[in-house]
Amino acid sequence: MHTLTDRLAGRAAVVTGAGSGIGRATALRLAAEGAAVTALDVVPASLESLAAEAAADAAAYGGRVRTAPVDIADEGSVVEAVGAAVAAHGRLDALVNAAAIHYGDHTHATTLERWNRILTVNLTGTFLVTREALPALLESPHGGVVVNFSSTSAFFAHPYMAAYSASKGAIMSFTHALALEYADRGLRAVSVVPGGVETPITGQTPANLPADVDWDKFAKLMPVLGRGTFGGPDDVAGVVAMLVSDDGRYVTGTEIRIDGGTHM
């Protein structure tokens, strides 16, 4: 890990999808920079692993990682989890909505159940967590920050991902609306747009695609940095940490693409 500062000391953050991948890297990065972090995820075993990792390196994370379960597709679960996080920290300065699911289908074969499930988790879940966090974020003396996770699939053609792409494109629109609606109250809202990053979702993509997948359609979806190798979750987490800090104080209502030049 890079040498880190304490630029987030005294701040409190909530990170969803924190049990694995980019969400996990982000939760640890924010804690390493001094933030008190509530890490939320739907998988208890992933939260236990995260808590153990944070506890094992007290010098880096200083006991600043708190874990709690949440199902972001369930309104009651979100209300309880976010309320408990705010109560535990006594405040909230940053929210990072990293939780998401992904399935690949031929669009003509996509069931309504599958379509609704992806939009419910990715889009409605992002809305629910944001809604519950907003009152506390608007009270932040630093100016609250919402970082939402979109995807390069919202900008560029990713085959077999119509539902996922639609959910991520809608998250960008949602983020723009937030940024303007609450700008006069000091809130910033930004989307990060990962692509070409090795995560559990990307690792599971081949198994989630149709059996007759045409791999030639993925030929253009490779990073140009690192001779075509994927980036890692830490490559995104560092950008998120910048955005929620004062270093990102003039960034709102926009997207930051982190894809190693995949979509130049």
CA 72, chain centre distance (Å)? 12
Amino acid at 78: V
Calculate mean pLDDT across residues 29-35.
98
Residues 143-186 pLDDT 10s: 999 999 999 989 887 888 899 999 999 999 999 999 999 999 99
Options 61, 103, 160, 164, the catalytic residue: 164
H or E element: which one contains 87?
Answer: helix 75-89
CA 253, chain centre distance (Å)? 16
Burial (CB count within 10 angstroms: exposed 0-12, middle 13-18, buried 19+), residue 90: exposed
Distances (CA, A) of 143 to 68, 150, 225, 242, 244: 25, 22, 35, 14, 9
| pLDDT at residue 141 in the model | 96
Residue 164 annotated as catalytic:
yes
- 173: phi then psi, degrees, rounded to nearest 5: -65, -40
Binning pLDDT at 50, 70 and 90, where does residue 217 land?
Answer: low
| pLDDT at residue 214 in the model | 75
| pLDDT at residue 212 in the model | 79
pLDDT: which is higher, 34 or 216: 34
Whether pTM exceeds 0.85:
yes
Sheet holding 254-258, edge to edge: 65-69, 36-41, 12-16, 94-97, 145-149, 188-194, 254-258
| pLDDT at residue 264 in the model | 75
Residues 49-88 pLDDT 10s: 999 999 999 999 999 999 999 999 999 999 999 999 999 9
**Length of the chain, please?**
264
Which residue's entry shows tokens 């699911």? Answer: 101
Tell me the C-alpha distance between 120 and 239, whole Å.
Answer: 27
| pLDDT at residue 162 in the model | 94
Please name each of the domains of the chain with its CATH number.
12-257 (3.40.50.720)
| pLDDT at residue 7 in the model | 96
- 93: phi then psi, degrees, rounded to nearest 5: -110, -25
